[in-house]
Structure 1
Amino acid sequence: MKAKVIGAITLAGSMMFNPAMAAETISVVGSSSVTPLMEVFGETYAKTHDVVVEVQGPGSSAGIRAAHDGSSDLGMSSRDLKSSEKASDIQEVVIARDGIAVVVHNSNPVKDLSKEQVSQIYKGEITNWKQVGGEDKPIVVATRDTASGTRGAFEDIMSLKRKVNGKSVSAISQRAQVASGNGQLKTMVASNPFSIGYISLSSVDDSVKALSIEGHEPSVEAIKAGDYGVQRPFLVVYKDGRPSKEALEFLNWMKTADAQKIVSEQGLISTH
C-alpha cells in the first residue's frame, strides 16, 4: 500500500530551498481505522514542525509487527495487544477511543439487536432476518480480514472466539464475506439490502444504518456514559529506542489538548 506523505512542498521550479528535503521523516504504519485520524494529525503537525509524516494502513497486526521489528517509528492498532504481542520494550499509548457500529442496509426494518443476537448471526446460528424481527430473507454476513484490529476487537466484545486444539480461533462463520477495510465493508453493506457488517463509528454515514445494541444507539455520548459497550482503543505502539526524537515529540503532541480537539472533531472519543 502506498504511503500518504504529509509535509511541506515548495512550488515546482522554484529556486528556493525545499524544507521537505531536510525534514525528518516519521513513519507510521498500522490500523486502517486509525489511519484517517493519523493523517489529519500528520497534516496538522507538519504545518508547524520540520517533519514529513508517512502513514500506511495495512492493518493493526502489521502495525504491531512494524513496531516489534523496528521497520517503522510508530505502529497503529485499533485493538488491545494480544499477550503474544506484548513485551517489556513495547510501549502502548492510547490516543483516542472509538465505537464499533453494527450496520445494515438503510431499507432494513431491524433497529436493535442484542450482543447475543449479533454473536449468533456471525456464528451462523441465526441465518434469516425474520428470526430477529426483520423480513423473511437470508442474512448476508460481512466481516473484516483476520489482520484487522476492528475484527479483533469485535470478536472479543461479541464473544466470537472458540478453542481448537487449545488455541483460540475465530468463531465467525466461514460463509461470511470478507472486506479488506472499513470503506469496502461499508460499500458491501450499502449495496446489499440483506447484509450486516461492522465498521468504525467514525466511518458511519448516510449510506448505511447503524443499529442500536442492547437498546443503546452508537454515539460518542453513549460510549462516554458507558451505555454503548461496543468500543475499542486507538493505540500507538512503539519499541523502546526505535522512534526518532521527532517521532516521540509527534506522539507527545497527540496527547495535547489541541490534538485531542481534532480527535473529537473526527467523531472519536478524546482521552481528555
Structure 2
Amino acid sequence: MKKMKSVYLLAVLALMLVVSTACGNKNGDNKAASAGDKSSSSSESMVISGSSAMQPLVAASAEEFKKQNPKADIQVQAGGSGTGLSQVSQGAVKIGNSDVFAEEKEGIAADQLVDHKIAVVGMSAAVNPEVGLKDISKENLIKVFTGKVKNWKEIGGKDQKVALINRPDSSGTRATFVKYALDGNKPVEGAATEDSSNTVQKLIKETPGAIGYLAFSYFKENSGITPLSINGVAPKAENVIDGKFPIWAYEHSYTKGEPKGLEKEFLDYMMSDAIQGELIPSQGYIAVSKMKVERDAKGKITKK
C-alpha cells in the first residue's frame, strides 16, 4: 500500500511539473510575442509638407535620418507655407513647414499648433545674369516689382524688358519678401506665378530680363542666377545674423499639439548638432542659435 501511495505521489508531482513547464513556456512565448509586436516609432511613416524654401533642408535631413533609421518612411513635399499650415491643421500631414508664423496666416487656428523653429532663412531678389546688375536700392526694387520700372536700363542695367516671376499668395517666401523687401507693396498683377522655388530659379536662369526672389539656399555657385545686394548689403548669412540684411524669416516646423512618435524623433534630430552645426550651414541656412537678433510675429526685431 505504501508503495502504491509513493507511485501515485510521484505521478502527481510529474504531472504538476509538466503543467508548470507548459504554462511557463506559454507565458514566455506571450512575452516574446508582445516584445516583438512593440515596434519602434522609427518604423512609422510620415508626410511633411509646406515651405519650398525649407524643402531642401528638410529633405536632406530626412535622408540622413533614414540612414540611421532605415525602416522610417518620411515623405517631404512642398506646396508653400499656407499649404503646410492648412494641412497640419487639418491633420492631413504630421508636420507643416512654414516661412511665416502661423498667426500671420488667415484661417489658421494657431493656438492648436506647436511651433518648432528649426532654422533661419535669408532671402533676396535674383536676376538673370544678362540683366547686368548685382546691387539694387530698396526704392528701385519696389519700383521694379510694382511695375514702375519696365526696362532694366532705367536703373543702370542692360536694355532688357523686366520679366517678373512671382510666387502665389500661399507662399511664405512671397509673404516674407513683400513684407521686408517691398515694405508691404504688392507686386504688379500679370507677373508669372510659380508654386515652386526650384521652378523660379529655373525660369530666372532661362528667361532674359527675369527677376524673382529666392532663399539663400538657392544661390549656389553654379545656379545660373545673380543674387542681388540690397542697398549695398550682400545677401549673406553673416549679414542676416548681425541684423544688417532685413529679408529673412524663421523656418518653422509646426505640429498639431505636442509631437510624438516619429514626428518627435525627427524634430529632435533636426535640432541635433549634426543638423544644426553641419547640415544647416552647408545647405545655406542659419542655425537659430547663431542669430544676434530675433523677430516676433509682428516683425519687430530686437537684439538677443
Distance 1:187 1:83, change over 3 A: closer
Among 181, 184, 208, the alignment partner of 1:158 is 181
Aligned position for 2:138: 115
Contact 2:181 2:246 (8 Å CA) reproduced: no
Equivalent residue for 1:32, pick from 48, 52, 56: 52
Structure 2 counterpart of 1:246, one-letter code:
L
Q: Provide, for residues 163-217 of structure 1, a one-character-per-residue CA deviation record: whole Å limited to 9, x for no partner.
A: xxxxxxxx21112111221111112111223111111110113301111111011
What is the SS of the residue equivalent to 1:64? Answer: helix
Alpha-carbon distance in 2 for matches of 1:26, 1:244: 12
- Secondary structure in 2 matching 1:92: strand
Alignment of 1:155-234 (within 5 A): 155-159=178-182, 161=184, 171-205=186-220, 206=222, 207-234=224-251
Distance in 2 (CA, whole Å) between partners of 1:137 and 1:178 is: 20
Aligned to 1:3: none
Instruction: Tell me how far 1:83 sits from its aligned partner.
Output: 5.3
Q: Among all aligned residue pairs of Structure 1 and Structure 2, give the percentage whose two residues are the same amino acid.
A: 25
> Could you tell me how far 1:60 is from its partner in structure 2?
1.0
State the TM-score, normalizing by the size of structure 1.
0.83
Please list the CA deviations of residues 95-129 of structure 1 after superposition, one character each: whole Å capped at 9, or x if unmatched. Answer: 01111121111122222112221112111122221
CA–CA separation in structure 2 for the residues paired with 1:192 and 1:124: 18
- Counterpart AA for 2:197: N
Larger fraction in strand: 1
Q: Are residue 57 (structure 1) and residue 73 (structure 2) matched?
A: no
Query: Where does 1:7-18 land on structure 2 (aligned, <5 Å)?
Result: none
- CA distance, structure 2, for counterparts of residue 58 and residue 177 of structure 1: 17
Deviation for aligned residue 1:253: 2.1
- Which of these two proteins has the greater Rg computed from alpha carbons? 2
Unaligned 5+ runs, structure 2: 1-38, 290-304
Amino acid at match of 2:192: Q
Q: CA deviation at 1:51?
A: 2.1
Matched, 1:45 2:65: yes
Distance 1:159 1:194, change over 3 A: closer
Paired with 1:214 and 1:131, the residues of 2 have a C-alpha distance of: 17
Name the structure 2 match of 1:137.
160
Q: Which has the higher helix share?
A: 2
User: CA–CA distance in 1 between the matches of 2:177 and 2:191?
Assistant: 14
Residues 46 and 266 of structure 1, relative CA distance in 2, 3 Å threshold:
same
Instruction: Please give the alpha-carbon distance, in whole angstroms, between the structure 2 residues aligned to 1:63 and 1:83.
Output: 11
> Which aligned segments of 4 or more residues in structure 1 are displaced greater than 4 angstroms?
none
The number of residue pairs the alignment matches comes to 245
Query: Which residues of structure 1 form unaligned runs of 5+?
Result: 1-18, 163-170
Contact 1:160 1:172 (C-alpha < 8 Å) held by counterparts:
no
